[in-house]
Homo-oligomer: A and B are copies of this chain.
Amino acid sequence: MSELEADVVVVGAGLAGLTAARGLVAQGASVVVLEARDRVGGRLLNHDIGGGQVVEVGGQWVGPTQTRALALSDELGLTTFPTYDEGENVIEWRGAPKRYRGPIPRIGAHVLADTLRAQRRLEKLARTVPVEAPWLTPDARTLDSQTFDTWLRANTLTAGARTLMELATEAVWAQEPRDVSLLHVLFYVQSAGGFDDLIGTEGGAQERRWVGGSQRLALEMAAALGDRVRLSSPVRTIRHGEAGVRVTTRSGTTAHGRRVIVALPPVLTARIDYDPILPGQRDQLTQRMPQGTVWKCMAIYDEPFWRADGLTGQATSDVGPVRTTFDNSPPGGSPGVLLAFLEGDHARRASTISADERRRMVVGCLTRIFGPRAARPDGYVERCWAEEEFTRGCYGCAMTTGAWTSYGPALRAPIGRIHWAGAETATRWSGYMDGAIRSGDDAAAAVLAAL
């Protein structure tokens, strides 16, 4: 047990919390960061695969319009490299795998046209959403009264288009179209700048990766913050009032400050005890922002054999349970790493089987798509953040129907001396590393103005 004192207490050493702390320190404020885990980075985590190489078992990509993340990367002296994207992609579609080049899969023209028309309609609607206040969208109630599934049924003619959009939904939210409010989908698309920005590799959110792994963003910031960051310090209670804040960890460490920034997934912010307690509006908002579900699985081979075969390693499948793959090899291409996602319902079902069964299932999908050389990986790594006490789901969260229109203003509004940060509170690139960093900037600015 110890007593700490700072101008600002930050809860959570993910990108949002660390960025906020960094910004505050740069402006001369004193800061203490309380992190529940024995490491920093939150949903960013490098995994050592030997030979000085890492793969990320959490968030990893950055796209060209994620300018805040790229700027921070520069400031920290980090470098990025392109996601391997040379050759042909594969799609399993109504039968055997087919190869194709570029972003448009080789499937029936009417399905493609139907899909593109739906995407265009979606983007047109998305442009009506003010990202700072989605509840002020024209006809917000109607948009927030239906699931994305309902909208897709009304706005596609082909089952194929619905399947493609379902694949995209799983890839972006790790949820199913029925899990998500249409208004949230529109907000998210607008927050990212467009649908292709979300799902694209080249030009999109999956374009580049960090040399040394994405967690380095967090590790470098934490190193500069030094002993301001306290690990293994899960916050249990936040007392707040006129006199300031008193934040206490499970083990009894107490940090006193003038303000507190809580930089956790919204659902987890409600698992802290507040004194006085949070208003009902804020608490009930957190009951309506469920986290997604994804198993991120990587099979490791001596070399990226699919490259010699003319393949990018990117595959899409309407069969599943692995529905999306990527080449996730380190910069030099050695070893070869195939990344396979189980998302949404596929991930939920995968959580009910044993680790051995899951590995067999994933490797089986890779073998079906990439051939017999995929059948015997040298290594296998997997992670499901729903099973992690201090994340409880990935990639991020998605508002359920009604949440934005009934509770939206409670998402970002400070409560007395309590400020909120985290990818989910961002207006630009909400749910992404870029959004998390921006939310840290915003929280730091708001706190500095109030100190």
Contact = CB atoms under 8 A, between A and B. Distances in A.
A401 B281 contact: no
Contact of A147 (B150, B289, B393): B150
Interface string A234-270: 0010000000000000100000000000000001001
B145 A348 contact: no
A212 B150 CA distance: 48
A163 interface: no
Contacts of A145: 147, 149-150, 176-178
A261 to B, nearest CB: 21
Given A150-B146, A348-B406, A392 B178 contact: no
In the A-B complex, the 8 residue pairs with the closest CB atoms: A280-B386, A145-B178, A287-B290, A179-B402, A400-B400, A145-B149, A280-B387, A178-B402
Given A280-B386, A287-B290, A288-B400, 13 more contacts: A145-B149, A147-B150, A147-B401, A147-B402, A178-B405, A279-B351, A280-B387, A281-B351, A283-B392, A284-B393, A287-B291, A287-B392, A345-B406
A184 to B, nearest CB: 12
A351 B288 CA distance: 17
Nearest to A146: B150
Interface in A380-401: 384, 386-387, 389, 392-393, 400-401
Contacts of A424: none
A314 interface: no
Most buried by B among A176, A270, A351, A401: A401
Contacts of A284: 290-291, 293, 348, 386, 392-393
Contact of A402 (B144, B176, B406): B176
A141 interface: yes
Given A250-B273, A280-B387, A284-B393, A290 B147 contact: no
A277 interface: yes
A279 to B, nearest CB: 7
A292 to B, nearest CB: 9
Contact of A271 (B177, B270, B400, B407): B270
Interface in A276-308: 277, 279-281, 283-284, 287-291, 293
A352 interface: yes
Contact of A389 (B150, B178, B277, B289): B277
B351 A393 contact: no
Contact of A288 (B147, B283, B290): B290
Interface in A138-186: 141, 144-147, 149-150, 175-179
Contacts of A290: 284, 287-288, 400
A335 to B, nearest CB: 29
26 contacts: A145-B147, A145-B176, A145-B177, A145-B178, A146-B147, A146-B150, A147-B402, A149-B401, A175-B402, A179-B400, A179-B406, A271-B271, A277-B389, A279-B387, A280-B386, A280-B392, A281-B351, A283-B392, A284-B293, A287-B287, A287-B290, A287-B392, A287-B393, A288-B400, A348-B407, A400-B401
Interface in A90-126: none
B146 A281 contact: no
Nearest to A271: B271
